[in-house]
C-alpha cells in the first residue's frame, strides 16, 4: 500500500468515525430531550431553562447537583406562574422627586436668577 492509498484510507476512516460521533451525540441529546419533556418545565421561562442548563453544564454535573439539592424547595403551586418581582422590595420609579427634598422660602426668587442655568 502506498502512502497515498494509506492516507486516503485513514481519511475515509476518520470521516466514518466523525459520522458515528455525530450520530451518537444526536441520539444522546434526543434521549435527554425526552427526559426533559416529562418534567414540569412550563413553570420556567425559556431563558431560565436555558440559563439553568448552560450554567449546570459549565459548572459540571456533580457540582450543579450538590448546589441545587442544597436549595430549599420552591413554594410555587403547579397551577400558577411565579411572580418575577422580589418579595418585600418596593417598586422603583424612574421619575425624579418633586422639589428634590429641597424647599425654597416663599418669595425667594434670587435663587432662581442665580442658579446654574442663569444667563448674564
Q: Kindly report the pTM of this predicted structure.
A: 0.51
Can you give the residue ranges of every domain in the chain? 1-39, 40-73
Mean per-residue pLDDT pooled into runs of 10, the chain (120 residues): 96 98 98 94 93 95 94 70 58 60 57 52
**Contact assessment for residue 60 and residue 67, using Cβ atoms and an 8 Å cutoff:** no
In this structure, what are the phi and psi dihedrals at residue 98, rounded to the nearest 5 degrees?
A: -65, 130
Cα 27 to Cα 31: distance, rounded to the nearest angstrom: 6
Helix (H) / strand (E) containing 2: none
Amino acid at each position: 500500500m502506498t502512502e497515498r492509498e494509506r492516507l486516503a484510507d485513514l481519511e475515509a476512516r476518520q470521516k466514518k468515525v466523525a459520522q458515528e460521533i455525530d450520530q451518537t451525540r444526536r441520539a444522546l441529546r434526543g434521549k435527554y430531550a425526552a427526559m426533559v419533556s416529562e418534567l414540569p418545565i412550563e413553570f420556567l421561562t425559556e431563558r431560565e431553562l436555558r440559563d439553568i442548563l448552560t450554567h449546570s453544564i459549565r459548572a459540571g454535573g456533580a457540582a450543579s447537583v450538590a448546589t441545587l439539592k442544597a436549595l430549599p424547595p420552591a413554594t410555587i403551586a403547579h397551577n400558577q406562574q411565579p411572580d418575577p418581582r422580589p418579595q418585600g422590595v418596593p417598586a422603583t420609579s424612574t421619575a425624579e422627586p418633586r422639589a428634590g427634598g429641597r424647599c425654597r422660602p416663599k418669595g425667594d426668587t434670587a435663587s432662581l436668577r442665580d442658579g446654574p442655568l442663569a444667563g448674564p
